[in-house]
Amino acid sequence: MAENNEVLHFDHIVIGSGLAGLSSALHLARCGRSVAVVTKREIDECNSRLAQGGVACVMDALDTFDEHVQDTLVAGAGLCNEKAVRAIVEAGPEAIRELIELGAKFTTRGDLGYKEEKNDYDLGREGGHHKRRILHAGDITGAELERVMVEAVTAMPNIRIFEYHIAIDLVMSARPTEKTPGRCSGAYVLDIKQGKVITMLAPATVIACGGAGKVYLYTSNPDVACGSGVAMAYRAGAKISNMEFIQFHPTILHHPEIRSFLISEALRGEGAVLKARNSKNAEPEEFMHKYHPMKSLAPRDVVARAIDSEMKRTGEECVFLDIRHLSEERLKLRFPHIFAKCLEAGVNMAYDLIPVVPAAHFSCGGITTDINGASSIIGLYAAGESACTGLHGANRLASNSLLEALVVSRFLARDIDEKFEELSRNKPEESAPMHWSNGNATDSDEQVVISHNWEEIRRFMWDYVGIYRTNKRLERARNRIRLIQKEIDKYYRDFIVTADLIELRNIATVAELIITCSLKRHESRGLHFNADYPEPDPRLACVDTVIFKKLEK
C-alpha cells in the first residue's frame, strides 16, 4: 500500500448511504456543488432499507402537531429537546410531499380494498402513538424510500458514489481544545476492493453511518451497523450524547435459521396482542396489562422489558404475537413481506402465533448536534441514527427515525449552504496529516484475533449492558472492554488496516461509549434500566449524558 495515497477534493463528503445520507447528498447537490457519497457495501445496503413500519407524520385532519409532539415527549421520558421535537414534527409534511414528488408510493386505503376511501393514505398506528399517523408502503417502507432516494441521487451528475469504501477516521486540520472547537477537513477512506487508502478532503463532512446494532449479539440490524460514525467522531474529539439509551425492538422473529428479521410494531397497531406461556404446554395468555395501560401498544422500552421479564419468569425462549383476528387475505395485503417470511419459518400468521424475542434495534444517542445536524467540531455534521438531535430523548417513539432522517437532512443542507464560504476558509494547515501512512505495519495472518474479539464484545454487551443492567454488570463490562481495547490498539498499530479491523475497532469504541454513559446515569429512565437505581431521578430530567475524548496535544 502506497505511503503517498491519493487525495480527492470535494465540496461535501457524505459518509453513509441510508435515508439520512442520501437525502443529505441530494439536498447538498442541489446547491450546485460536488458531493462524494462513501458507503462500505452497495449503495442500498443499510438500516433504512429494512424499516418496515413507516414514517410518523401528521397527515390527517383529526391529528395535530401538538399531539405528535406530546406523544414523542411522553415516549422520550423527560429527556427530549422539546424545541427540536416541534421543529422536526412541523417540518414533516413538507418532507413527505417532496418524497411523493420524487416518486415514493405510500399505501392508500384503495390499495387495501376500501373503495370509498381509495385515495386516502392508509395511516397506521404504532406503540406510543395515540393517533394513526404512520405513512407506510406495505410493510417495506424503508425499501421504497431507499429506492426513491437511490434513483434521485444517481441521477445527479455532481454526486460521485464510492461503493465498497469504508471510512477509517476523520481528517482533522485542527484538534478540539478546551477553548476551540477543532476543524474537520474530510476523512481517510479505505477502498476495500483495491486495498488502498484515499484521503478525501472537503469543507463540510456529513456522518450518516446509521446505527450500532452489531455491538450486540442479537440485533435487527444488518452487518454494516457497527456505529462507525459515532466512533470516528469520538476519536476526533466530538461531543457524544446519551449512548446509554439503546432501544431493543420487542419483536424479532424467533427462529433458529432466520436471524435478525423484525416483526413490525405495525402488527400491534393493527390489534396484535402479546402473549406468554405460564408453563410449557399451556395456552399462551396476554400479559401486557400487568405492565402498562396501553397494553401491547405501550412504548418500546416498556414492551421490551416486559417481554424480557416474562421470559425470565417462565424460562421460555420467546413470547408470542397473536394477530389471528385478521383474515389471511387482509394480512397478505397489509403485511405481504412479513407474511411471506413467517410462512418461510412455518408460521401462518392467520392461524398460528408468531414467536418473538427482543433484540438491539436503535441507538437514541450519538454525535451531539443541533437541529441542523452541526456537531461540536467545525465542518462536521451528522444526521440520522449517528446523530443525537434531542428528538428521541430516552426512548424513540416508533417511526420517528425516518421522519428525523428526512427533515434534518434538509435543515443540514440549508445550514451548510448558508455557511459554505465560511467553511471553505477553514483550509487544512500545512502541518496537518493529509496523507495516510502505514508506518511499520505488516499484513496479518491472524484473522482469528479479530473474529474472537468481535464475538466476545457482542456477547458481554448482550449479557451485561442489555435490557436489564446493574452496576456490577456494567463494571464487569468496563473491565473487559478496557482489556480488549488494548489488544485492538496494538493490533491496529502492528498490522495493515482492513475492513474487518476497522469495524472491530469501531464496535469496541461504541461499546466503550455505551458502557461509560450507562455508568454515568444513576437512575432508570426510558431505555436505560439499572436495577441499582430502579426509579427516574427528577433532577436528571432534561439532563443529557455528554462525553468527549480528551485529545493529546
CB 18 within 8 A of CB 146: yes
300 is catalytic: yes
State the DSSP string of 127-182. Answer: TT-SS--EE-STT-HHHHHHHHHHHHHHT-TTEEEEETEEEEEEEEEE---SS---
In 3-state terms the chain splits into helix, strand, coil percentages (rounded to 5) of 40, 20, 40
Residue 508, judged by CB atoms within 10 A of its CB (0-12, 13-18, 19+), counts as buried
Residue 414 and residue 420: Cα distance in Å, rounded?
10
**Four-residue CA torsion sign, 259, 168, 198, 13:** positive
Of the chain, the end-to-end C-alpha distance in Å amounts to 29
Enumerate helices (H) and strands (E) in the chain, giving the number of each. 14, 20
Task: Pick the closest to residue 443 from 495, 365, 506 (CA basis).
Answer: 495
Nearest to 204 by CA among 369, 50, 382: 382
Gap between the Cα atoms of 379 and 358, Å rounded: 38
Q: Cα-flanking dihedrals φ and ψ of residue 39, to 5°?
A: -140, 135
Closest CA to 300 of 399, 395, 215: 395
Bridge partners, residue 183, by sequence: 174, 378
Query: CB-based contacts of 46: which residues, under 8 Å, 6+ apart?
Result: 16, 17, 18, 19, 21, 39, 146, 210, 222, 224
Q: Which of 457, 23, 49 lies closest to 222, judged by CA?
A: 49
The dihedral sign for the CA sequence 217, 220, 226, 229: negative
**CA-CA distance, 469 to 35, in Å (whole number)?**
43
Catalytic residue among 300, 396, 410, 505: 300
- CB-based contact 230:37 (threshold 8 Å): no
- Are 2 and 190 in contact, with CB atoms under 8 Å apart? no
The residue type at 224: V
Sole residue written with cell 386516502: 120
CB 481 within 8 A of CB 542: no
Tell me how far apart the alpha carbons of residues 64 and 68 are, in angstroms, rounded to a whole number: 7
The torsion defined by the Cα of 288, 267, 96 and 403, in degrees rounded to 10, comes to: 40
Residues catalogued as catalytic: 300
